[in-house]
């Protein structure tokens, strides 16, 4: 997994046949339009992808500053929220092909469990049997 930047997105868009500088302008324009719409309080719905919206937070009259321990007031504010759409959720939940040498979390867990529950090999022979209670 890696981080995809706006430049990377523009490069991906340019692979559809348009010039790189035009793709970069399109990506920039899209993000500016989305940002401006969210600032105005609009909800952005992209079918199959998800919904971006602005939500108001409640004020917190008794928050605590972790450094000083002082009780402070945190005013209400606005925050962005993204809710993925059904198609995006389904695509994310599909199993992906693993790279050579890569294993799933279930396989890693199974190996770890097997290693911790397996009895360690003993190099000594068992001792004489203990006395019987008769």
The number of CA neighbours under 13 Å toward the Cβ of 126 is: 3
| pLDDT above 60: residue 127 | no
53: confidence class by pLDDT, cuts 50, 70, 90 = very high
Q: Which fold has domain 43-95?
A: HU Protein; Chain A (4.10.520)
Q: How many Å apart are CA 108 and CA 85, to the nearest integer? A: 30
Nearest alpha carbon to residue 34 among 24, 23, 25, 45: 45
Q: Taking the model in full, what pTM does it have?
A: 0.61
Average pLDDT, stretch 62-74?
A: 92
Which residues on adjacent β-strands are paired with residue 82? 52
| Residue ranges of domains in the chain | 1-42, 43-95
pLDDT band with cut points at 50, 70 and 90 for residue 61: confident
Are the CB atoms for 49 and 91 separated by under 8 Å?
no
Write the pLDDT tens digit of every residue in 86-115: 999 999 998 666 666 666 655 665 665 555
- Predicted pLDDT of residue 1: 75
| Residue pLDDT, tens place only, 77-92 | 999 999 999 999 999 9
The three-state DSSP-derived secondary structure of 23-53 is HHHHHHHHHHHHHHHHHCCCCEEECCCEEEE
Say if CB 9 and CB 27 are below 8 A apart.
Answer: yes
Q: What pLDDT, on the 0 to 100 scale, is given for residue 66?
A: 92
What percent of the chain has pLDDT above 70? 70
């Amino acid at each position: 997994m890696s981080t995809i930047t706006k430049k990377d997105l523009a490069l991906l868009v340019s692979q559809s046949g348009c010039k790189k500088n035009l793709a970069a302008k399109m990506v920039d324009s899209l993000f500016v339009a989305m940002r401006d719409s969210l600032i105005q309080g609009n909800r952005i719905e992209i079918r199959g992808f998800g919904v971006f919206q602005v939500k108001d937070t409640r004020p917190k009259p008794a928050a605590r500053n972790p450094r000083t321990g002082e009780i402070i007031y945190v005013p209400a504010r606005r925050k962005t929220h993204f809710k993925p759409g059904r198609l995006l959720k389904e695509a994310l939940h599909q199993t992906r092909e693993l790279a050579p040498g890569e294993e799933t979390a279930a396989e890693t867990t199974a190996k770890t469990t097997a290693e911790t529950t397996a009895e360690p090999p003993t190099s000594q022979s068992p001792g004489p049997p203990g006395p019987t209670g008769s």
